[in-house]
Amino acid sequence: MQSWNSVALGMAYLLCGVFGLHGQTRTLLVPSTRPRQTQSRLKPATPATASPVLPRPSSTPTTAVLTTGLPLRVQIDRRYRMRKGKPIEGRLIDPVYSVDHIVLPVNTRIYGNISDLTPIHGSKRTWARLNGDFTPLKQPVLRFTSVMLPDGSRLPIHAEASERTADLVKMGPPVKKKSRIQKIKAAIHAKFAGMKQGISNAVHSKHKSEKALQILYGQLPYHPQDIWTGTEFDAVLTQPVILPDPNANHLLPVTPPHGHIPPGTIDVRLITPLTSKTDKVGTPVEAVLTQPYLSQNHKDVILPNGTHLVGVVTQAKPARFWGRNGTLRFTFRQVKLPAGTMETVHAQMTAVEGKKGQNVTLDSEGGAHANADKGKYMDPLVLGYLAGANAVDTNQNQVDAATTSNGFGLPARILSILFVSGTTISIFAYYAAGQSVVRRWIMHGHEVLFAKNTRMQLAIADR
């Protein structure tokens, strides 16, 4: 009996050992899903949804936006040969404003290339041929792609630029009517004064070699075409530009005029191109403010940059035959604020950019008048005298031939010097005199033309 009990007890111990080994094996193969207490004590567990803490964007603005259509006035600082695709560099000669402060100062560098060369047609091309210049004249079109910010970085932009050919004209005092003789004397005096000033500018110019080269090109029947140092362009943005502006959150408060805009002078640019040739009385005119109009103490803004002005043409007379010139007068009567509200205003021109060659003047009422050329009287008289003197004097030398043979550039002078023929010299001399008379006395006079983006100053009257 005892032996059987010993056997049963041994069998029980054996079965317990087998079952114990089987449980240990299952524990080793299947990992536990509980977090280990030792790990939690060493390092706190990071929740599954936790993410790095990012800085919150500031609620105050730090950028400025330059809208599509904004013109940037650019000057080229060196001579470039007109070749499509050629890289080009310039600088801003007018500041760019955002609301009440400058975001792109004068002398900001701007970079681009010559994107196209547009052929020149019409009267300009015709007169060039009549003067012996058979070069296929072209007008450069520039594309600017970046500007340099004050910190030295470049900001991409998209702007198309065309050459600006205009002079600033300011309103002068009322002029008394002059007799024909007085006009001739004044024209002769102005001609000599202009020649003297031109010589002085050429002598004291930093680019004497370029001036001399331009004079030479003007005499050649065929010559290269360049973009000369000092040429100005209006580069119009084709896409909006966002640029950093540290002063964006320090703007002056805008105080609406509430029916009364105090008198003063504002700077605007034309949105509507105008010409005395086609525009009529009643034609609407629109312009936009280029600089903010501040209060007298400069503590708040009355009219922010970008304010629109609405006006109307009040007088328009086209140029006619026999050298009669055109006249154009317009005034601005309403101001459209950025919020969309309209305010009444009375503003007229006191200064404007007039196209070179049309000799524009402003009267005391803001009217623009195209005047006769400064050489209207002097040039035909001088050329006629030279042609008549040549017909009388048949014993001319090479110097006389070069002096009197005007009207067809360098080829005419070379032919006259080579042959020293009275007939040859007379032909060129009378040709030059006749061309001058036809152009200045018989054909249409000058039109008053203000292109899009023309800059002007307006005087706001208190009434």
Query: d(Cα 162, Cα 451) in Å, to the nearest integer?
Result: 11
Residue 308 belongs to a domain: yes
Residue 296 belongs to a domain: yes
CA torsion through residues 266, 268, 273, 277, sign = positive
Residue 405 belongs to a domain: yes
Q: Which domain holds residue 306?
A: 264-372+445-460
Same-domain status, 356 and 421: no
Listed in sequence order, the DSSP H helices in 266-347 are none
Same-domain status, 318 and 358: yes
Question: Is residue 338 within 8 Å of 413, Cβ to Cβ?
Answer: no
Q: Which of 434, 380, 390 is nearest to 416 (CA)?
A: 390
Per-residue pLDDT at 144: 97
Same-domain status, 341 and 455: yes
Question: Is residue 404 within 8 Å of 389, Cβ to Cβ?
Answer: yes
Per-residue pLDDT at 172: 54
Residue 345 belongs to a domain: yes
Q: How far is residue 146 from each of residues 11, 88, 160, 175, measured CA to CA in Å?
A: 95, 11, 12, 47
Query: Residues, the chain, total?
Result: 463
Per-residue pLDDT at 155: 95
Per-residue pLDDT at 193: 60
DSSP 8-state code for residue 447: P
Same-domain status, 162 and 271: no
Same-domain status, 121 and 235: yes
Residue 30 belongs to a domain: no
Same-domain status, 331 and 455: yes
**Number of folded domains in the chain?**
3
Same-domain status, 85 and 230: yes
Query: d(Cα 64, Cα 99) in Å, to the nearest integer?
Result: 9
Q: Which of 148, 1, 134 is nearest to 74 (CA)?
A: 148
Per-residue pLDDT at 118: 92
CA torsion through residues 170, 172, 177, 180, sign = negative
Residue 201 belongs to a domain: no
Per-residue pLDDT at 36: 40
Q: The tokens 């086209």 sit on which residue?
A: 318
Helix %, strand %, coil % of the chain (to 5): 30, 30, 40
Per-residue pLDDT at 233: 92
Query: What CATH number is attached to the domain comprising 164?
Result: 2.40.128.260
Helices 180-204 and 208-219, interaxial angle, to 10°?
120
Same-domain status, 288 and 359: yes
Q: What is the pLDDT along the chain (463 residues), one digit of tens a residue?
A: 444 444 444 454 444 443 343 444 333 333 333 444 443 333 444 444 444 444 444 445 688 889 888 889 999 999 999 999 999 999 999 999 887 889 999 999 999 999 999 998 888 888 888 778 888 999 999 999 999 998 889 999 999 998 887 666 665 554 555 565 665 566 556 555 655 555 555 555 566 778 888 878 877 888 899 999 989 999 999 999 999 988 877 778 888 777 788 888 999 999 999 999 999 999 999 999 988 888 888 888 888 888 899 999 999 999 888 888 889 999 899 998 877 788 888 888 888 877 666 678 887 777 887 777 777 777 777 777 766 666 555 555 545 555 555 666 666 666 666 665 666 667 777 777 787 788 888 888 888 888 888 888 898 887 6
Q: CB-hemisphere CA count at 13 Å for 349?
A: 33
Residue 189 belongs to a domain: no
Tokens at 242, concatenated: 């966002």
Same-domain status, 367 and 451: yes
Q: What is the pTM of this model?
A: 0.69
Domain-ending residue, one of 244, 274, 293: 244
Same-domain status, 137 and 236: yes
Same-domain status, 233 and 347: no
Per-residue pLDDT at 448: 87
Domain-ending residue, one of 175, 210, 244: 244
Query: d(Cα 185, Cα 124) in Å, to the nearest integer?
Result: 29
Helices 378-392 and 180-204, interaxial angle, to 10°?
90
Residue 39 belongs to a domain: no
Can you point out the beta strands (E) in 19-108?
A: 63-66, 71-76, 80-81, 87-92, 96-98, 101-104
| 58-106: pLDDT as tens digits | 445 688 889 888 889 999 999 999 999 999 999 999 999 887 889 999 9
Query: d(Cα 274, Cα 313) in Å, to the nearest integer?
Result: 9
Dihedral, 348, 351, 353, 357 alpha carbons, nearest 10: 110
Same-domain status, 450 and 340: yes
